[in-house]
């Protein structure tokens, strides 16, 4: 069964704007990871945040984790058309379970 | 980073036939591999966890006799879709867990295999 729920399911923004995606999960986790998937392609690992971390940065990506609310957010700053993709959170207890994903469209 | 390959990348088969998909970890040994399937516009659903040298653990609702998984070596797991039906058409993605080092043990994903059953 799916572990995570993401919102929004779809997000359309203009290039240069920031994009925020949220993810909620159900059970205790060791860490939470965010992945990106271009249409019909494999997954690209973006960032991992451990359960004892609250915030993590990597380039234009900022991830937060609130274990009390069982939620995480992914912020992409200064978005580019090339950021257009589906983004998934995946939480790891013993195995990696994926959320529904957010389909991000960045218009030039 | 570690590389996981899948073969074939695309396969079309007729109803009733079987098709085998290979998943290989190219530069690390993976005692554990995972198989996911993904329908269009949907998320990845974990099908089974494959451990080298032992039987796979299937998720609830996944037919083990239909989706045969073999993990005979530390670098290779195979998924065989037996007696394929059009509803088995999907994108199948494997991942492999690298157990070296202190952790966390990251999973690396293959590029996926698009199966179309006609």
pLDDT tens sequence across B18-72: 999 999 999 888 889 999 999 888 889 999 999 888 889 999 999 999 999 999 8
Residue A1's pLDDT band, with cuts at 50, 70 and 90, is: very low
Edge-to-edge strands of the sheet including B4-7? B4-7, B19-25, B76-81, B67-73
B91 touches chain A (CB under 8 A): yes
Residue scoring higher pLDDT (B87 or A7): B87
Chain A residue set in contact with B, beta carbons under 8 Å? 1-2, 30-31, 35, 40-43, 45, 48, 50, 88, 92, 95-101, 103
- For the ranges A64-73, B66-75, B93-102, which has the lowest average pLDDT? B93-102
Q: How close A15 comes to chain B (CA, Å)?
A: 23
Interface of B with A in 12-41 (CB under 8 A): 34, 36, 41
Burial class for A39, CB neighbours closer than 10 Å (0-12, 13-18, 19+): exposed
Q: Which helix (H) or strand (E) holds A98?
A: strand A96-98
Does B43 sit within 8 Å of A88, measured CB to CB?
yes
Chain B residues closer than 8 Å to A100 by CB: 42-43
The 10s digit of each residue's pLDDT in A18-52 is 999 999 888 888 888 999 999 878 888 899 999 99
**Per-residue pLDDT at B97:** 85
The predicted structure's pLDDT at residue B82: 97
Query: Which of B1, B41, B112 is closest, CB to CB, to A42?
Result: B112
Q: Given the DSSP bridges, would you call strands B90-97 and B113-117 parallel, antiparallel or unpaired?
A: antiparallel
In the predicted model, what is the mean pLDDT of chain B? 91
Share of chain A above pLDDT 70, in %: 94
CA distance linking residue A1 with residue A6, whole number of Å = 14
**Chain B residues near residue A98 by CB distance under 8 angstroms:** 36, 43-46
Closest Cα in chain B to A85:
B41
Q: What's the whole-number mean pLDDT along residues A56-71?
A: 95
Question: What is residue A93's predicted lDDT score, i.e. its pLDDT?
Answer: 67
Convert A43-72 to b/e letters by CB count within 10 Å (16 or more is b): bebbbbbeeeeeeeeeeebbbbbeeeebbb
Provide the shortest C-alpha distance from residue B69 to chain A (in Å).
17
Chain B residues within an 8 Å CB radius of A40: 91, 112, 114
């Amino acid at each position: 069964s799916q572990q995570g729920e993401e919102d929004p399911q779809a997000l359309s923004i203009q290039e240069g704007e920031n994009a925020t995606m949220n993810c909620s999960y159900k059970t205790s986790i060791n860490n939470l990871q965010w992945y990106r998937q271009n249409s019909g392609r494999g997954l690209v690992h973006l960032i991992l945040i451990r359960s004892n971390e609250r915030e993590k940065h990597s380039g234009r990506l900022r991830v937060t984790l609130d274990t009390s609310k069982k939620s995480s957010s992914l912020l992409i700053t200064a978005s580019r058309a090339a950021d257009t993709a589906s983004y998934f959170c995946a939480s790891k207890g013993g195995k990696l379970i994926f959320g529904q994903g957010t389909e991000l469209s960045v218009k030039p | 980073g570690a590389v996981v390959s899948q073969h074939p990348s695309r396969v079309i088969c007729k109803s009733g036939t079987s098709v085998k998909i290979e998943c290989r970890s190219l530069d690390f040994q993976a005692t554990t591999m995972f198989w996911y399937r993904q329908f269009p516009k949907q998320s990845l659903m974990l099908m089974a966890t494959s451990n080298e040298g032992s039987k796979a653990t299937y998720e609830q609702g996944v037919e083990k006799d239909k989706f045969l998984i073999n993990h005979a070596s530390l670098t290779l797991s195979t998924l065989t879709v037996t007696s394929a039906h059009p509803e088995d058409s999907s994108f199948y993605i494997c991942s492999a867990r690298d157990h070296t080092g202190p952790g966390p043990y990251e999973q690396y994903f293959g590029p996926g295999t698009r199966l179309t059953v006609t």
